[in-house]
Homo-oligomer: A and B are copies of this chain.
Amino acid sequence: MIPSQMLKGILGGCILTVISREETYGYEISQKLRQMGFGNIAEGTIYPLLLRLTKNGCICATLKASDTGPARKYYSLTNTGKEELAQFQKDWLELSTAVNHLIGENSHG
């Protein structure tokens, strides 16, 4: 299990990434993240995050009926969201480079 603290500042970008692939909704996002190896991300994490991203203008929702349960909120990226996603990927690269550099150097020591 990835510690929850490690997910801070990362989940938002991950969700933008998932949505960028295709329109999707909260419940499905949580399932996809689990399949991707993020472990079980609580609903109390996903839904507030989606609301935050909506408020920030990164994503927008369309309500669509479902045959198998209550209606779903399908999300898609706005232009702001696309910029935000690009920035996240840049930031992630910077972080992972620094950490891998640090951990890697350990073995030369």
Q: Which of A8-16, A46-54, A56-64, A66-74 contacts B (4 or more CB under 8 A)?
A: A8-16
Residue A92 lies at the interface, judged by CB distance under 8 Å to chain B: yes
Flag whether A55 is at the interface (Cβ < 8 A).
Answer: no
A68 to B98, CA, bound (A): 30
Please tell me if A44 contacts chain B, counting CB pairs below 8 Å.
no
Is the contact region of chain A dominated by helix, strand, or loop, or is it mixed? helix
How far, in Å, is A39 (CB) from chain B's closest CB? 9
* Given A98-B36, A98-B37, A102-B36; A91-B6 close (CB under 8 Å): yes
5 smallest CB-CB distances across A and B, nearest first, come from A5-B9, A6-B9, A37-B98, A8-B8, A21-B109
